[in-house]
Amino acid sequence: MDVLAQEELRLDASAVDYVLLALYFAFVLGIGYLARRSVSTSLDFFLSGRALPAWVTGLAFIAANLGAIEIIGMSANGAEYGMPTMHYFWVGAVPAMLFLGIVMMPFYYGSKVRSVPEFMLRRFGKPAHLVNGISFAVAQVLIAGVNLYLLASIVNVLLGWPLWVSVLVAAAIVLTYTALGGLSAAIYNEVLQFFVIVAALLPLTLVGLHKVGGWNGLVEKISASPGGPEQLSAWPGTELTGFTNSFLSVLGIVFGLGFVLAFGYWTTNFVEVQRAMASKSMSAAQRTPIIGAFPKLLIPFIVIIPGMIAGVAVQELVAYKATETGSVDYNDAILLLMRDLLPNGILGVALAGLLASFMAGMAANLSSFNTVFTYDIWQAYIAKDRPDQYYLKMGRWVTVGATVIAVGTAFIASGYSNLMDYLQQLFSFFNAPLFATFILGMFWKRMTPTAGWLGLVLGTVSAVAVFGLSEAGVLDLPGQGASFVGAGAAFVVDIVVSVLVSVVTRRSPKPSWSVWCTRSRRGPSSRPRTRVRTRAGTASPA
């Protein structure tokens, strides 16, 4: 970010704003300190002892997703594309969240696995388990870098510190409470952060609408702006997908986003599933994503609408939208709107809300990374059969290591003018092929362990290949079309490879997947009723 951009984004914060921020950070660190008292085992640190109520895990479930993806990424999308961005919520989130609660959580929670990769171990064995564990770990440090970069950007704008100093300070804050209290600290902070985020963004939306003359005024200004009236209609969303053909655009949204990316993210992404796994019962685990679906429906009104307002009300962004040149870009939409509209006091609340969103996102990445790395990589393949306290201590050191890596990946994120482009690419690489493996493995018991890991690897490679071809100009896929096509390619390649490999390889002699899933739905202590032969030769239930 150059000096001119820093000056344009500088927020005129007063002593009142700094006091509000200080109070917020005191609460955040205090929650981490208090949560530390309840951590005595590795299960407490990584899964909150499976003891949290549904309303807590439900709000944490949605707050964990209210990081850079929602606040900066979706407001940037709102400024650039307008109403088609709504698809990320109503098509690309809520149906998959309901599917997770109703269909998937009984399998996850009933089996008492500690992570999604461990679930893969039960079905496909060690190779698929290791591939999934490594790919998930890589994805989380990359996404944590996005949240950290944005968190540091706020500190940079507010205080004028160099970006690298801001990155280190922001990382230290999140690291402190996550390493102290583990998942419990992350979850309770996410509940606090949810309310802070809403309190920050709702006034910004209302004030912004008033500035542009209400909804009718916003419609008029957007219709006259670059991009025109298409920004006011969610369908067919050709600018968002990059397809000029309306049918292909709708197909990309429904299949690429609504099915592959959405179900891949919400049903197999351990960042979200971990919150539900921390619930105190099967019923609470199922209700967690369902509770989260209600606020998810309303989040667009406090995230996307401000981005649309910024695109027509902030002069620097209006100029950038017309020429695609300038010292600001779409990622600055929320900050620019805050700078222009909010008075002191409310500005402090808004800043706290932004910081809360980025910390929630990064803490979610760190808490899921340390669980998967410790349990699914370190304990499974490097240091087996150690005392529980060893893994508890290891989890804290892994959190430190992940934070250090995220500092490096933060600078990768800084190269994108719209971070949603970057994030959707990551989801197409890692989530789409995993979902294909899951869905085929659940409903086709003939699928073999070899097919499980090979389908994952080649599915990921195909998504990376689509990205490379798009970057090289071989495929003309502007907007987020490359991620939609990449996700679709990863899904199809994974399915085709898995079927072909299963045909030519042998199944494991383990009990069938359907039998194991049935046991999982009943719970770990349940077992199917069988019949044994008595001494008299008659059968009786066992």
For residue 340, count CB atoms less than 10 angstroms from its CB and return exposed for 0-12, middle for 13-18, buried for 19 or more: middle
pLDDT at residue 36 in the model: 74
Residues of 347-371 as b/e, b for ≥16 C-beta within 10 angstroms? bbbbbbbbbbbbbbbbbbbbbbbbb
- The whole-angstrom separation of Cα 17 and Cα 480 is 37
Average pLDDT over residues 107-115: 78
Average pLDDT over residues 47-68: 77
What lies within 8 Å, CB to CB, of 518 at 6+ separation is 528
Q: Which two tokens stand for residue 16?
A: 């009142």
Q: Is the dihedral of CA 184, 263, 234, 72 positive or negative?
A: positive
CB of 435 within 8 A of CB of 260? yes
pLDDT band at 54 (very low <50, low <70, confident <90, very high): confident
pLDDT at 213 over 80: yes
- The whole-angstrom separation of Cα 348 and Cα 196 is 11
Closest CA to 431 of 102, 29, 140: 140
pLDDT at 128 over 70: yes
pLDDT at 129 over 60: yes
Q: What phi-psi label fits residue 334: left (phi over 0), alpha (psi between -120 and 50 degrees) or beta?
A: alpha
Average pLDDT over residues 176-181: 72
- The whole-angstrom separation of Cα 40 and Cα 42 is 7
Task: State the residue for tokens 């004028």.
Answer: 160
pLDDT at residue 497 in the model: 93
- The whole-angstrom separation of Cα 496 and Cα 431 is 17
What lies within 8 Å, CB to CB, of 177 at 6+ separation is 28, 29, 31, 32, 33, 35, 185, 186, 189, 363
What lies within 8 Å, CB to CB, of 7 at 6+ separation is none
Is 294 in a helix, a strand, or coil? helix
Closest CA to 76 of 315, 357, 335: 335
What lies within 8 Å, CB to CB, of 484 at 6+ separation is 241, 242, 252, 253, 256, 257, 261, 424, 428
Q: 358-414, pLDDT tens digit by residue?
A: 676 777 778 788 888 888 888 888 888 888 888 888 888 888 888 888 878 877 776
Q: 461-479, pLDDT tens digit by residue?
A: 998 898 888 877 777 766 5
Residues of 313-326 as b/e, b for ≥16 C-beta within 10 angstroms? bbebbbebbeeeeb
Is 0.85 topped by the overall pTM?
no
| Torsion, CA 26, CA 29, CA 35, CA 40, rounded to 10 | -150
- Please report which helix (H) or strand (E) contains residue 153, including its range: helix 126-159
- The whole-angstrom separation of Cα 38 and Cα 328 is 45
Average pLDDT, the chain: 77
Q: What share of the chain is helix, strand, coil (3-state, %, to 5)?
A: 80, 0, 20
Average pLDDT over residues 259-269: 79
- The whole-angstrom separation of Cα 269 and Cα 434 is 9
- The whole-angstrom separation of Cα 114 and Cα 297 is 29
pLDDT at residue 49 in the model: 65
Q: Which two tokens stand for residue 202?
A: 């709702």
- The whole-angstrom separation of Cα 500 and Cα 448 is 10
Q: Which residue has the higher pLDDT, 8 or 180?
A: 180
pLDDT at 509 over 60: no
Q: Which two tokens stand for residue 323?
A: 């020429």
Closest CA to 377 of 178, 186, 140, 174: 140
Residue 304: what residue type?
A: I
pLDDT at 182 over 90: no
- The whole-angstrom separation of Cα 77 and Cα 81 is 5
Residue 268: what residue type?
A: T
pLDDT at residue 197 in the model: 79
Average pLDDT over residues 426-451: 84
The C-alpha angle 402, 405, 406, rounded to 5 degrees, equals: 85
pLDDT at residue 210 in the model: 87
Considering only 90-99, 208-217, 246-255, which range has the smallest mean pLDDT?
Answer: 246-255
Of 119-128, 437-446, 491-500, which has the strongest mean pLDDT?
491-500
pLDDT at residue 1 in the model: 43
Residue 27: what residue type?
A: F
pLDDT band at 307 (very low <50, low <70, confident <90, very high): confident
pLDDT at residue 496 in the model: 93
In order of 206, 228, 454, the CA distances from 212 in angstroms are 10, 16, 53
Whats the size of the chain, residue-wise?
542
pLDDT at residue 228 in the model: 73
Closest CA to 320 of 454, 226, 223, 461: 226
What's 253's DSSP letter? Answer: I
Q: 515-537, pLDDT tens digit by residue?
A: 445 444 454 444 444 444 433 33
CB of 61 within 8 A of CB of 273? no
Average pLDDT over residues 236-242: 70
pLDDT at residue 513 in the model: 46
